[in-house]
Each structure stands twice: as C-alpha cells, then as structure tokens.
Amino acid sequence: MDEEHKAYWRKSRTITWLALFAWTVVTALMGFYAREAPHELTAIYALMVGCYAWYLSRQDRRYGC
C-alpha cells in the first residue's frame, strides 16, 4: 500500500472517529434539553452529517479515489 493511500485512510478514519465522538457528545448534552430544542438538535445532526460528507468528498477528490 503506497503512502498516499495510507494517508487517505488515516484521514478518513480520523474524521470518522471525530464525527462519532461529536455525535455522542451532542446526543448526551442535548438529551437534557431535547424537550426545549428538538429542531435545533435535528439541525445540529444535519450540519454534522453535511460537514462530514463535504470533508470526505474533498478528500476523495484530493487523493483521486
């Protein structure tokens, strides 16, 4: 496996773990406020998924995957 391919997967794994961690933190914190802010929670999740998809798409183009 060449170095460029390893770098791609390292970045992909890192952003995936960060996204999972952020999702867990948001879920835990917003669990206390879900009654007051259900739409905000949905918006936060949508924003997180959008950023994740944008970043991975950018990496795909960068590394030619």
Q: Is residue 56 a contact partner of residue 12, using CB atoms and an 8 Å limit?
A: yes
What's the confidence (pLDDT) of residue 1? 66
What's the confidence (pLDDT) of residue 3? 87
Question: Which of the two residues, 42 and 61, has the higher pLDDT score?
Answer: 61
Report which secondary-structure segment, H or E, holds 52: helix 38-63
Q: Which residues contact 36 (CB under 8 A, 6 or more apart)?
A: none
What's the confidence (pLDDT) of residue 14? 95
pLDDT (tens digit per residue) in 7-57: 999 999 999 999 999 999 988 887 777 677 677 788 889 999 999 999 999
pTM for this one? 0.78
User: What amino acid is encoded at 23 in this protein?
Assistant: W
